[in-house]
Amino acid sequence: MTQATSEPTGTRRATPRRGAVVALLLTSVLLTAMVLLGAAPGPLGTAIAVTLPWLGFVLVPLVIGALVVRPRTAWTAAVPLVAWTVALWGFLPVPWQGDPAPADGRLLVATQNVEAGSGTGAESARVLAADGAAILAFTELDGDSGSAIADELADAYPHSYRVGTVGVWSRYPIADEEALDLGLGWKRALRVEVDAPGGAVSVYVVHAASLRPGAQGARDAMLSALGERIRKDRTPRTIALGDFNAVSTDPALAAVSRELGEVRFGGLAPSFTWPASFPAVRIDHVFQRGFASAAAKTTAAGRSDHLAIVAALQG
């Protein structure tokens, strides 16, 4: 007669739970490594930077799963969450921050890639002017959109400067203007000095070289040169805005981010700008230094494939 043996119940339960803990630990290590590698220059860092905001949809269930499986080891799931928060801190929205609006002492600026060939120039200009922006910056201008914008803004924005595919229109006088090629060999950026209330403001309008798989060297070099150009600019109040073809955490933006801070957005949403039909990334930005406070929002203007950004700068 064979005597049946039974494994203790506690042992049977421990085995699958131990496997779940190991799986959570490995996942946490991989996600933490992914976040840290997002700072690596080149294609790897750029690819991770694009996906980084969406990683939150993985991290939250990971932390919940860790709490359910074994609460005392849930800290292992918190490590990648903390790393993710730190990496994205400058990108994350500020829920208590209000939308930008015209007010005494505020300088409102707006920027949009108007998508060449979309025929959206005049409509975009009209919408953004109605928002009260004193300085309007447009990128991806073609002949038709540039002329349409100039006609639309001729009366209210008498001061303008256009170079290649970028242009700026201002209610305030432009005291200095400069075309910038930033190492590309052709002009996709400009700098003007605007005589705004409170003193001069350096304004850089940028349309960075396109980013394509295996071909990002031109964009990276252009953004690096832009950062160096801004570093040498001694104007206390400086703004850089436009289509940077890089998300906020892209290592290629490091040279710019060292000199200027990105204007933060209010609310709870991440405020992506492209594509306008279903925004998934923010590649359009407003950076500044010298202003005590700043707030931004995205808004639809015209039929471009990019949303516009309106920012209020004060102080």
Please write the tens of the pLDDT for every residue from 201-255: 999 999 999 888 777 999 999 999 999 999 999 999 999 999 999 999 999 999 9
| DSSP line for 129-176 | HHTT-SEEEEES--HHHHHHHHHHHTTT--EEEEETTEEEEESS-EEE
Render pLDDT for 73-97 as a digit per residue (tens, 0 to 9): 677 778 888 898 888 888 888 888 8
| Helix ranges (DSSP H) in 154-246 | 217-232
- Report phi then psi at 250, rounded to 5: -65, 130
Give the pLDDT mean for 287-298: 96
- Average pLDDT score over residue span 20-30: 80
pLDDT in tens, 117-173: 999 899 999 999 999 999 999 999 999 999 999 999 999 999 999 999 999 999 999
Q: Are 122 and 153 in contact (CB under 8 A)?
A: no
Residue 8 confidence class, pLDDT cut points 50, 70, 90? low
Phi and psi (nearest 5°) for 59? -70, -40
Is the four-CA dihedral 234, 240, 245, 247 of positive or negative sign?
Answer: positive
Q: How far is CA 111 from CA 237, 264, 308, in A?
A: 18, 15, 6
| Greater model confidence, 104 or 313 | 313
Mean pLDDT taken over the chain: 89
| d(C-alpha 151, C-alpha 269), whole Å | 35
Looking at residue 5, its pLDDT comes to 52
Q: What is the pLDDT of residue 214?
A: 72
Query: What's phi and psi for 268, nearest 5 deg?
Result: -115, -20
Given CA atoms 111, 112, 116, 121 in this order, what sign does their dihedral have?
negative
Looking at residue 64, its pLDDT comes to 81
The SS3 of residue 88 is coil
CA distance 227 to 257: 8
- What residues are paired with 179 via a beta bridge? 190
261: enclosing H helix or E strand: strand 261-262
User: Reduced to 3 states, what is the DSSP secondary structure of residue 240?
Assistant: strand
Amino acid at 216: Q
Give the pLDDT score at 16: 55
3-state DSSP assignment of residue 212: strand
Q: What is residue 99's DSSP assignment?
A: P
Average pLDDT score over residue span 257-280: 93
- In the chain, DSSP finds a helix count (H) and a strand count (E) of 8, 12
Query: In angstroms, what is the C-alpha Rg of the chain?
Result: 24
d(CA 25, CA 66): 9
Q: Say whether pLDDT at 179 is over 90.
A: yes
φ, ψ of residue 115 to 5 degrees: the values are 60, 100
Tokens in use for 99?
């939308």
Tokens of 41: 């220059």
Omega cis (within 30) before 173:
no
